[in-house]
Amino acid sequence: MSAFAQAGYSQTKKITATPRQIEAQIFSQIAAELELAAGEDGKAKDVKAMANALHRNSQLWSALMTDLASEGNELPDDLKANLISLGGFSLRHGARVLAGEAQVTDLVDLNRTIASGLRSAAAEAA
């Protein structure tokens, strides 16, 4: 496929992606960033890269929690509460990872699980 065709396909893909698909992609990207910044022991092998990935993760979860707490969010209350709880865990655990007190594996797994759920929901809605 030519570079021009790839660019066109990529643009079409961006236009046709649903919000859930985009959210799933962001969770997956951040999980990959966290994993790349970690060593085999699950702790930061590249402190700057880990700090950047954890910052992006915190931004993502903070934005999600803000949306979940808004009056316009139509998700069931129990699901909103569970996701907000997971967001709180993610923020606290991220601080522990940055301090070298915890492994990043739980955050990678959490983000991948959320991404998988979003992809399943998007597929069901299609």
- The whole-angstrom separation of Cα 111 and Cα 114 is 5
- Site of tokens 């929901």: 121
71-124: per-residue pLDDT in tens?
A: 999 999 999 999 999 999 999 999 999 999 999 999 999 999 999 999 998 777
Q: Which residues pair with 44 in a beta bridge?
A: 38
Residue 15 tokens, joined:
């236009």
CATH class of residue range 20-125: mainly alpha
Contact 106, 113 (CB under 8 A): no
Model confidence, pTM: 0.84
SS3 string of 62-123?
Answer: HHHHHHHHCCCCCCCHHHHHHHHHHHHHHHHHHHHHHCCCCCCHHHHHHHHHHHHHHHHHHH
